[in-house]
Structure 1
């Protein structure tokens, strides 16, 4: 395996790089964490840009009247944003695969004790109903077990994880409603635009809060191994 720091080949039976002395596992885990962090930032950037663009579209709708409103033109203007949310979903899916690989390793490396078996790191996202409440518990479990936290710090970590999960579920629900909405009247068009802005904002916030969890867990585990 090549060293993530200097590029030299590290034999499988050796824990340190023979050239620079870096811990192979620690460097590799940090590289995965950085990759997930950057992809989450890209997700947040796309969602934020979509929300700002939708806000600009809402300006002429607020100035329009029932006589000047054109349903066909408004529907054509909103259609690309539905496709943008689909692209955001595909990108989030790719990010989620790498995130699962990172979370699996972070869960294995955290000292514990853990409330759930490691298999739930994957199954918790796939099982219906369970995937509505178990993933944030797993992330919180990994976070607080990766370092030494006081009660107030544990509560702060729990608040960040809860904010991430709440924004994610709200953003997904709003994006789903936006995709199935219609702009047959002026009131419906204004509602659709506001719904799209809310979906973009919540998805951007969810990506930002998730970036915090990835950064903190990766930092704590890399420093502990060092």
Structure 2
């Protein structure tokens, strides 16, 4: 079996990677501010329970406005980070297909649909990133199949953390929508902080994956430009 040698042109991926990592960092910073708002709202609600006379209606109205505004900004930053990640993902998938003749487990349409279609969104995105990582690995030989190659532990860590963050955030949202008493709102706000913390970790792991795959693909692109196959080993 011979080392993989790309036959199709590859595109620069460092620009999309930089954009994706930057937007993930911005989203994390916005999440930090949102967590501060959550803790402030939780504290206010607890004051409303223990000492109702110390809370004015103006404070409660302000809390509603700030909390809603925080959520809107947080959603905007999250969607921007998602868009940046998908932009990089499509470019990385193109390069992975140029690097490896072996078929990926999922067609290109699942690069977006895989995140929103119920049930399969629990594992399709991870498999897509797995295949891109494996196909991008310099020195890999054909014949094993992308789906049967060793799975990178970094991708496992990212995906499990992201799933936990998604689950906790959904629970927090349900608590918020169902809550009517100050104690319910305080509980939802503190639960949301936990979800944000998990998203921070997932974002950091996603950035590490982006940088690793980008480095492998840029090394492969450089090797192709120099007229040789990317055959140096990767740990």
Q: Which residue pairs with 1:135 in the alignment? A: 125
Question: What RMSD in Å do the two structures reach over aligned CA positions?
Answer: 3.3
Contact in 1 for aligned 2:41/2:67 (Cα 8 Å)? no
| Cα 1:182/1:74, change in 2 over 3 Å | farther
How far residue 55 of structure 1 moved from its aligned partner, in angstroms, is 2.8
Instruction: Give the count of matched residue pairs.
Output: 200
- Matching residue of 2:197: 201
- What is the match of residue 90 of structure 1? 76
Cα 1:178/1:223, change in 2 over 3 Å:
farther
Residues 121-149 of structure 1, C-alpha deviations (whole Å, 9 max, x = no match)? 23323433333331122112212332259
Greater displacement, 122-131 / 216-225: 122-131
Offset at 1:170?
2.6
| Map of 1:166 onto structure 2 | 163
SS of 2:39's equivalent?
Answer: helix
**In 2 relative to 1, CA 97–158 (structure 1 residues): closer, same or farther, beyond 3 Å?**
closer
Provide the secondary structure at the position in 2 that maps to 1:128.
coil
| Residue of structure 2 in register with 1:42 after alignment | 26
Task: Please report how far the alpha carbon of residue 105 of structure 1 lies from its aligned counterpart in structure 2 after TM superposition.
Answer: 1.7
Alignment pair present for 1:188 and 2:188: no
Q: Secondary structure at the match of 2:11?
A: helix
Compute the displacement of 1:201 (Å): 1.8
Query: Contact 2:20 / 2:85 at 8 angstroms: preserved in 1?
Result: yes
How far off is 1:44 after superposition? 0.7
Deviation at 1:116, TM superposition (A): 1.9
CA contact (8 A) 1:144 1:157 kept: no
8 Å contact kept, 1:143–1:157: no
How has the CA–CA distance of structure 1 residues 210 and 164 changed in structure 2, closer, same or farther, with 3 Å as cutoff? Answer: farther
**TM-score, normalised to structure 2's length?**
0.69
Question: Alpha carbons of 1:78 and 1:219: their partners in 2 closer, same or farther (altered >3 Å)?
Answer: farther
Q: CA deviation at 1:45?
A: 0.9
Distance 2:188 2:80 in 1: 27
The question of whether the paired residues in 1 share the 8 Å contact of 2:114 and 2:121 is answered with yes
Correspondence 1:122 to 2:106: no
Alignment match of 1:219 (pick from 203, 215, 225): 215
2:85 alignment counterpart: 99
Aligned counterpart, 1:54: 38
Alpha-carbon distance in 2 for matches of 1:76, 1:183: 17
How is 1:6-17 mapped onto 2 (pairs within 5 angstroms)? none
TM-score where L is the length of structure 1: 0.71
How many angstroms does 1:209 deviate by? 2.2
Unaligned runs of 5+ in 2: 1-8, 141-149, 223-235
Give the Cα separation in 2 of the matches to 1:75 and 1:149: 61
Q: Is the partner of 1:125 in helix, strand or coil?
A: coil
Quick one: structure 1 residues 175 and 223, their matched pair in 2 at CA, closer, same or farther if it must change by over 3 Å?
farther
Task: Supply the distance in 2 between the matched residues of 1:53 and 1:102 (Cα, whole angstroms).
Answer: 31
CA contact (8 A) 1:140 1:158 kept: yes
